[in-house]
A and B are shown apart, each in its own frame.
Chain A
Amino acid sequence: MTRTLVSPLALQSQRGRIIYWTILTITVVGFTGAFVFPLYWMITGALKSPDELAQIPPSFFPQSFDFGVYAEAWNQLQLGVFLKNTVLYAGGAWLFTLAVDVSAAYALSKLRPMFGKVVLGLMLATLMIPPMVLLLPTYLVAKDLPILHLDLLNTPWAIWLPAAANGFFVFLLKRFFDSIPKELLEAAEIDGASPMRILWSIVLPVSRPILGVVSILSVVTVWKDFVWPLLVLPETDKMSISVGIASLSAQMPQNVLIASLVIASLPTILVFFVFQRSIMAGLTAGSLKG
């Protein structure tokens, strides 16, 4: 272990140890209070009756453990439909993003066509423009696709197509593909493998780490998105879970709303539990070389 700000020597003294343990305790308690307690309050809040929720002072533990409210939220809010929709949007966006961005990055990195640099530059330039400022024209494109005049509103394509136009993913993938040694591909080329085959059986297998990062980022991004699905999926039966809960939130009892919030946050938290490492890898990859 390399040393950090505080020298290991300072930690060995009695005073150093007292300070260290005090700070550790404060940090653990503080973090738990700030980041875990609100979630505890949410999970237990759902179990309280509307009367108990309005009670002052509030009860720390719910008076009864009636999980029926979760079933109620599930049925009243058609959470099943919302969840199914969201899985469809996020899953489709994931497949679509991978197919589109991997082929693009492969072409730009290994096939190196004319104007490849220009294309890459234009794709990266989109990173400079925050999506929010282009919300209105992008919405109009989805509503009336240029040339084809298709209306994508209330269809999954309204989520999938824009999700694939992600300059950051193209950048991450291309940078990884660039690091694959040329000799590996040339050998396959001499053996007569087509570019498609080289991509499939050489490039993709060695690119697993970056594919993992891009996969998780793309699923989580679509899952968490709010503004875009709010605009392009206005029909209640087509809503994603975030939008669905938000749009029905005014009309339901407090405890049912809270239960639905719990249900909506479970999938992403589960994903975080399982893929913590990739998520954090994606985080630092994005920050350092955005």
Chain B
Amino acid sequence: MTVTQERVRRPQPRAAGPRPDDHGALKRAVGRNLTAYGFLCAALICFALFSWYPMVREVVLSFQENNFVDPGKWVGFDNFRNVIEDPAFRQAWLNTAVFSGLALVVGYAVPFVLAVVLNELKHAKAYLRFVVYLPVMLPPAVAVLLFKWFYDPGAGLFNQVLGAFGLPALSWLDSTSTALVSLVLVSTWMNLGTGTLIYLAALQSIPGDLYESAELDGAGMFRRIWHVTIPQTKLILLVMLLLQVVATMQVFIEPYLLTGGGPENATVTVAYLMYQYAFNFGDFGGGSALGLMLMVVLMTFSAIYLRVSREAER
């Protein structure tokens, strides 16, 4: 390429004669920029089409009434009003919040405890690490359909196990009181491994002499966890908390495959309602309005996450 050839001809350009060299430097700069943007253009197109433009489009869609034949008609906040007045709206936000909350209670503390235990064990290390991450590797649709079979009220695995321990059978997905919890259970099962291995990596970077001196000061096991382990992993714990909230609030595949939002809207989530608006009711305006609301909520969490993770990098 021309840029490089020029550079080879005059290896020390900077301090030489003023005019012709300024010209050369400019030419080189232009050439370098052209080459760089040549390398960048494919990525720019992909990002523009599938990341940047959809963001703008979402805002536009949510303020328009659209049949995708005629140009969209601006309708102000009508879409938002319609969606908010939908009785499923409150239910969906409530379900999403409860889902995320329950997923946090189980899916946040358990991986940390598992990681602390795994970090102490000196045997079967590779096996335990492999096994805990196994469900994460299954395609989520497979894991969810597998659990759908386990939840079967008759011969399903879960009721059989409950029966074997002399416990009463549950109706899992068919009852308004257990359906959402059942979704949390699958979701936790298939995501637990990620958190566990990430915490484990964080635990391994804690200097051993911190525990040593804590012990010399007479700190017992739980005080060592409280005063050494947790402070040392504080940032990663916070990062994971935010990441998990963002991830679980997008829950879609579980209600889509397991319950279809039922029974009686007990498992309708915001993402699922958004999907229904667009693809079952043909209302992309309402769906986008919901998407935009979810985006604002999740971006708040993401923004905090970015700040925290930047701090973690230091």
Contact = CB atoms under 8 A, between A and B. Distances in A.
B178 interface: no
A103 B257 CA distance: 38
B49 A146 contact: yes
A226 B253 contact: yes
A53 interface: yes
B211 A5 contact: yes
A104 B132 CA distance: 35
Contacts of B291: 133-137
A41 B49 contact: no
B273 to A, nearest CB: 12
A34 to B, nearest CB: 8
Contacts of B236: 287-288
Contact of A165 (B37, B49, B57, B215): B49
B123 interface: yes
Contacts of A106: 39
Interface in B33-75: 33, 35-40, 42-44, 46-47, 49-55, 57-58, 61, 68
A227 interface: yes
Interface stretch (A62-70, A72-80, A124-132, A206-214): A124-132
A228 B225 CA distance: 42
B97 interface: no
A108 B47 CA distance: 15
A3 interface: yes
A116 interface: yes
B8 A133 contact: no
Interface of B: 1, 3-5, 7-8, 11, 32-33, 35-40, 42-44, 46-47, 49-55, 57-58, 61, 68, 116-121, 123-124, 127-135, 137-142, 145-146, 149-150, 154-155, 157, 160, 163-164, 189, 193-194, 197-198, 201-203, 206-208, 211-212, 215, 221, 224-225, 228-229, 236, 239-240, 243, 246-247, 250, 252-253, 257, 271, 274-275, 278-279, 284, 287-288, 291-292, 294-295, 298-299, 302-303, 305-306, 309, 312-313
14 contacts: A23-B121, A35-B132, A38-B157, A57-B160, A101-B43, A104-B39, A107-B40, A136-B284, A141-B54, A161-B46, A162-B46, A268-B137, A284-B198, A288-B201
Interface of A: 2-7, 20, 23-24, 27-28, 31-32, 34-36, 38-39, 41-42, 45, 53-58, 99-101, 103-104, 106-108, 111-114, 116, 119, 122-123, 126-130, 132-142, 144-146, 161-162, 164-165, 167, 170, 189-190, 192-196, 220, 223-224, 226-227, 231, 241-243, 245-246, 249, 254, 257-258, 261, 264-265, 268-269, 271-272, 276, 279-280, 283-284, 287-290
